[in-house]
Structure 1
């Protein structure tokens, strides 16, 4: 019974870690995509001042 409970805790912690890692990777992907968008738009912003109002 004791072994079973420990196994249950290990499974729970493993799932929590997996969810956390997935969330972190998703966050990093969104951040990198936004960063890529900003990097794409930055030279255009410097060239065209009218785009800055958007």
Structure 2
């Protein structure tokens, strides 16, 4: 008899590989924004909107 297939893991589960990757991406985005990334993006969007 074959063993049953385990249910898929929740991608928001911090212990799953997908959850760890998602948390790492969210952390990088947070660091980028706090380091001035959000301001740079706003300035860039304003400059291309004026063209």
| TM-score, with structure 2 as normaliser | 0.49
Work out which structure has the larger RCO, using CA pairs closer than 8 Å and 6 or more positions apart in sequence: 2
| TM-score, with structure 1 as normaliser | 0.47
Larger Cα-atom Rg: 1
